[in-house]
């Protein structure tokens, strides 16, 4: 028994002392390895959009990893759930006025903060531009562009046509975008070079060729600012030629509806980058055309026009002629 006990103790001591030596060696190695591990982790984090579940993703996704797409879809879905929960219990005190026609609610701010916190936790070095909080100044080549609620007036008035919009730019180019209309259960997303999707099914723009068969949408963001030049001139000229017009009040939804062919075209003035960044990519990835009123890249500063390839040049022609007459885009 004693022998066994002694042997046992001896064995245990040997094991302990061996383990102690190993730990010491391990700690010593770690002194050298730790900074390398930290540097590697930082590199991975900053390049995290390039980390793919599947090595093929690197080629198939133009570097947009499946994990990033899942992150975005999960994030925007949770943001939409906050909107739905809050919309049903909205109180008058929850609404503030940037001006009498420009509303913001506590939910706009809450949802934006939620999205920012989640992005910061995952990508601490990335820059973020949010409608309610402005732009961070981290000088990253990655920029997340957030509209926490696009269509706040609809949200306040208990209507379903509002959305959450999130886009990711790399070096000034939108590489990924998602728009979620939570009440409608419609989650759109677009991946640069990989197409556009509604609830994960591929979408494309309509094939409507004539104005007389087309349903389009527009909006009147400019009227809210009380500007002299507004969209009514364009509206009065274009609408009589169309089958019908829709005014949903969320530019992000309008763009996505062009992308999936529910609408044949859309134009609007005086929008901001956060209203259209995700939606514009989704239209382009659905084989649609997006430009300013002159048919150039400078949107939304000089207006935005989105349509299928047949109707886009016709819409541009009408808007540009109008613009030349008035001498302004906005
Ligand atoms: P918002 O709901 O995020 O404010 C509706 O026609 C579109 O105009 C929506 O995308 C809406 O975005 C935007 N919009 C509303 N008020 C606006 C304003 N004062 N200036 C510019 N865009 C506005
Ligand atoms: Ca908004």
CB 249 near ligand 1, within 6 Å: yes
Domain that holds residue 125: 58-201
Is residue 17 in a domain? no
CB 277 within 8 A of CB 190: no
Give, for ligand 1, the residue of 268, 271, 274, 306 to mutate: max count of ligand atoms closer than 8 Å to Cβ.
271
For residue 168 the two structure tokens come to: 């990711």
Q: Write out 219-268 in H/E/C secondary structure.
A: CCHHHHCCCCCCCHHHHHHHHHHCCEEECCCCHHHHHHHHHCCCCCEEEE
CA of 330 to the centre of ligand 1 (A): 14
Given 173, 201, 229, the domain boundary residue is 201
Given 201, 228, 257, the domain boundary residue is 201
For residue 40, is the peptide bond before it cis, meaning its omega torsion is within 30 degrees of 0?
no
CB 180 within 8 A of CB 80: yes
Is residue 303 in a domain? yes
Is residue 253 in a domain? yes
Number of compact structural domains in the chain? 2
> Do 106 and 154 lie in a common domain?
yes
CB 130 near ligand 1, within 6 Å: no
Given 179, 201, 223, the domain boundary residue is 201
> Do 62 and 158 lie in a common domain?
yes
> Do 194 and 228 lie in a common domain?
no
Report the predicted TM-score, pTM, of the whole model to 2 decimal places. 0.83
- Nearest-CA residue for ligand 1 atom 11 is 151
Mean residue pLDDT across the chain: 85
Is residue 35 in a domain? no
Name the pLDDT band for 178 (thresholds 50, 70, 90). Answer: very high
CA of 101 to the centre of ligand 1 (A): 10
Which has more confidence, 154 or 12? 154
- Which of these ranges, 140-149, 172-181, 319-328, has the smallest mean pLDDT? 319-328
- Which of these ranges, 24-33, 41-50, 128-137, 183-192, has the smallest mean pLDDT? 41-50
Using CA atoms, how far residue 284 sits from 248, 306, 313, in Å, is 21, 9, 15
Which has more confidence, 29 or 317? 317
> Do 103 and 75 lie in a common domain?
yes
CB 270 near ligand 1, within 6 Å: yes
> Do 197 and 117 lie in a common domain?
yes
> Do 217 and 195 lie in a common domain?
no
- Nearest-CA residue for ligand 1 atom 13 is 221
Is residue 50 in a domain? no
Name the pLDDT band for 101 (thresholds 50, 70, 90). Answer: confident
> Do 134 and 191 lie in a common domain?
yes
pLDDT digits (tens, 9 = 90+) for 268-279: 999 999 999 999
Is residue 36 in a domain? no
Is residue 8 in a domain? no
* CATH number of domain containing 74: 3.30.540.10
> Do 138 and 258 lie in a common domain?
no
Q: For 123-144, b where at least 16 C-beta lie within 10 A, e where not — what string?
A: beebbbbbbbeeebeeebebbb
């Amino acid at each position: 028994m004693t022998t066994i006990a002694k042997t046992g103790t001896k064995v245990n001591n040997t094991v302990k002392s061996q383990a102690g030596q190993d730990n010491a060696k391990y700690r010593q190695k770690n002194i050298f390895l730790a900074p390398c591990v930290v540097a590697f982790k930082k590199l991975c984090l900053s390049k995290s959009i390039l980390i793919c579940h599947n090595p093929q993703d690197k080629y198939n996704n133009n570097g947009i990893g499946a994990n990033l797409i899942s992150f975005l879809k999960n994030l925007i879905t949770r943001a939409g759930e906050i909107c739905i929960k809050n919309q049903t219990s909205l109180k008058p005190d929850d609404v503030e006025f940037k001006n009498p026609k420009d509303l913001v609610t506590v939910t706009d701010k809450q949802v934006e903060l939620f999205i920012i916190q989640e992005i910061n936790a995952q990508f601490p070095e990335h820059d973020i531009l949010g409608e309610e909080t402005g732009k961070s100044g981290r000088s990253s080549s990655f920029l997340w562009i957030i509209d926490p609620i696009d269509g706040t007036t609809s949200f306040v008035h208990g209507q379903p046509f509002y959305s959450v919009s999130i886009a990711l730019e790399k070096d000034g180019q939108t590489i990924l975008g998602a728009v979620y209309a939570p009440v409608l259960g419609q989650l759109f997303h677009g991946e640069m070079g990989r197409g556009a999707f509604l609830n994960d099914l591929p979408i494309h723009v309509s094939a409507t060729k004539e104005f007389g068969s087309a349903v389009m949408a527009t909006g009147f963001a400019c009227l809210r600012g009380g500007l002299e030049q507004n969209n009514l001139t364009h509206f009065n000229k274009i609408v009589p030629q169309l089958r019908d017009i829709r005014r949903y009040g969320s530019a992000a939804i309008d763009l996505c509806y062009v992308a999936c062919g529910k609408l044949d075209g859309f134009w609007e003035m005086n929008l901001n980058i956060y209203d259209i960044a995700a939606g514009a990519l989704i239209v382009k990835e659905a084989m649609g055309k997006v430009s300013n009123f002159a048919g150039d890249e400078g949107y939304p500063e000089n207006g935005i026009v989105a349509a299928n390839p047949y109707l886009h040049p016709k819409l541009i022609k009408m808007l540009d002629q109008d613009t030349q007459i008035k001498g302004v885009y906005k």
